[in-house]
Chains A and B, each alone.
Chain A
Amino acid sequence: MFKTVWKKMIGLGLVAMLSATALVGCSSETTTENKTDNKKEQAAETTLDKIKERGKLVVGVKYDLNLFGLKNPQTGEVEGFDIDIAKGLAKKILGDENKIELKEVTSKTRIPMLNNGEIDAIIATMTITEERKKEVDFSDVYFMAGQSLLVKKDSNINSVKDVNKKGVTVLTAKGSTSAQNIRAKAPEATVLEFENYAEAFTALKAGQGDALTTDNALLFGMAKQDPNFRVVDETFSEEPYGIAVRKGDKELLDVINEYLKEIKANGEYDKIYEKWIGEKPKQ
């Protein structure tokens, strides 16, 4: 632990200087100077080169979603559909599925983390949208989900119409497409947004809302975790998931798309799908 503390101390020297100068009010010159220096060095290097150089793929995944990306406190391991896809990608690029580092993202933090350079790619149940395409580049669709509702077993909510009433509270996560969709589909309902789905689900369990809305794939995971809840049959949107990379990372994106084609052709994708979702993917 102390070794890492010292390493971090050195890194922090910079941070501290930055904050000191920020307080003095003359930070702009120093930071931009550093930035241009770094840019020059890295200009020739693509993300794919960097991944190969460091021998490790860094992927942002969810830690709070059963079936897709869940950190198991019993083992400390992160497991799920997205994780298996990520490991396969590491194998494709580096020849070893263990040459991977997983970092926790939330719907809100994932784009900033990618653009920060903290992670190389996002594999975190991320719906491909036009708005997000302005921020990041997406791979081909790797999972097709649809938005639905998670409710108490004995709830009389069976459709999005049933929540479009005054006094009904629907929970979801900030920065997700689900929040925008539900506002459009159920304008009468009160929508409360949390930092992530774990907080939202905890709030639902605590009775702080009547339903939780997001993609059915995630809701199935939650219902599996806590059998007091069920997923409403109806889906009211199409949510195609893609793998996101920084804008312009064409080399990496090409490898990802090639990889997705490969696993779909050789049956590996079906295996992962069945392992987590419990059925064969619909064609």
Chain B
Amino acid sequence: MDFVGAYAPAHLKFLLEGFVVTLEVAFLSIFFSFLIGIIIGVLRYSRIPFLSPVLAVGVETIRNLPLLLIIFFTYFALPEVGVKLDKFYAAILALVIFESAMLSEIVRSGLNSIEKGQIEAARSSGLTYTQTLWHIVLPQALRRMVPPIVGQFISLLKDTSLAVVIALPELMNHAQIINGQNVNYVIPIFLLVAVMYFVVNYSLSLVSRRLEHKHS
């Protein structure tokens, strides 16, 4: 093992560059999957004829597939049907498809956890269905959803590493390039990369715990 050689300044800089891409991909994917996840979750909760069952089938299918397969799919298979995306967007699209399905389930079960009595009370005091959903149900449900949603974001950040299979220049890809130079770098580099993921994700989980305590 060669810790000194592995942690040469140029290598550290190279890893950081990769980490920036990891964070960029994660940030953008979180943003869009959060939006889409809420929309799908609410639509399924609302039991709209035809639409909700179709969404249910779509969400269940995606939730039961490996993310890795979805990444291969958006990058290698979509071009065959005319949708052409570069690595960066193909990775994000795959993450958004997968994570918004996961998030929509969290949103739906969060909404379901709100007592029906509250909805009836709001409706009988003159609010429309949409108003009730927007002002009464959603705010409470979102608060309850904070811990699982943060958990999902942590998964998402970890999952960006799967884009290593399409050679997206993120953290894992850069780590493997350095590892390719010398076998003695492998363990030190993996250790450092693990710590980088850990620091960000563990901080996220601490924030989530604090939020949880505040609300309970």
Contacts and interface: CB of A to CB of B under 8 A. Distances in A.
A20 B36 contact: yes
Contacts of B167: 63, 104-106, 109, 195-196
B177 A5 contact: no
B88 A198 contact: no
Nearest to B43: A24
Contacts of A24: 51, 54-55, 58
Contacts of A278: none
Interface residues on A, range: 35 or more
Contacts of B85: 15, 116
Given A63-B177, A104-B169, A109-B166, A206 B82 contact: no
A118 B86 contact: yes
Contact of A116 (B79, B174, B177, B181): B79
A23 B176 contact: no
Contacts, number: 119
Interface residues on B, range: 35 or more
Interface string B62-83: 1000000000000110010011
A9 B30 CA distance: 12
A23 B84 contact: no
A198 B176 contact: yes
Q: Which of A1, A16, A118 has the most CB of B within 10 A?
A: A16
Given A12-B92, A73-B11, A115-B84, A19 B79 contact: no
Interface of B: 8, 10-11, 13-14, 17, 20, 24, 27-28, 31-32, 35-36, 39-40, 51, 54-55, 58-59, 62, 75-76, 79, 82-89, 92-93, 96-97, 100-101, 164-167, 169, 174, 176-183, 186
Given A18-B83, A19-B96, A198-B177, 11 more contacts: A1-B20, A8-B28, A11-B89, A12-B32, A12-B89, A15-B96, A18-B93, A19-B93, A24-B58, A31-B83, A115-B79
